[in-house]
Amino acid sequence: MLVIGNKLKYTVVLWGALLISCSEPTVTPLTLPLLSGEKAHIPDLHGKLTWVNVWSTRCTICVKELPALEALQREYAERVQVVTVALPTDPPNTVLDVQTKLQLTLPVALDLDGQAARQFAPDLVVPSHHLLDADGDILYQTKGKLTLAEMRTMLEKHIFPPLSQR
């Protein structure tokens, strides 16, 4: 009887460990300064999904992606907060130059102390994309270039899930 009890105890501990390891990673909430002088809250305080893009002014792929992120922000503003976060190694005046040149209106955040980079791009590989729910759970993340169509596809999966998941 004692052996069965130990096996049951071991099974419960094992299943608990599996559930924890399979759960979605969660980010620590951040408040970042925007070039506009306002603050960006990650995750969104109003219950929207948050699309975080970590980029660098020295990354040509990153800079070419910014207009697509601008379009994503315009199309999904009711349900999604899009925040671009420049690496802490990018001087604020250089980030501002890119924002001005591309006429970006989406939130452009500065990661002055590196908190966002440590969470979203600890290896400093950019661009990196992260979709968070309102609780900060990571729903999707990838590194490398994404097209606007790929961004839309990913958002649609989480905004309008298949009927089987509702």
Counting as low any pLDDT under 70, the low residues of the chain are 1-24, 161-166
Q: What's the chain's length in residues?
A: 166
CA distances from 17 to 14, 21, 23, 139, 162 (A): 5, 6, 10, 20, 29
The confidence score (pLDDT) of residue 20 equals 41
pLDDT of residue 25: 75
**First CA to last CA distance, the chain:** 43
* Predicted structure pTM score: 0.81
CATH 3.40.30.10 correct for 25-165? yes
Nearest to 135 by CA among 23, 54, 53, 38: 23
pLDDT at 160 (0 to 100) = 72
User: What does DSSP say about strands 108-110 and 39-42: parallel, antiparallel, or unpaired?
Assistant: unpaired
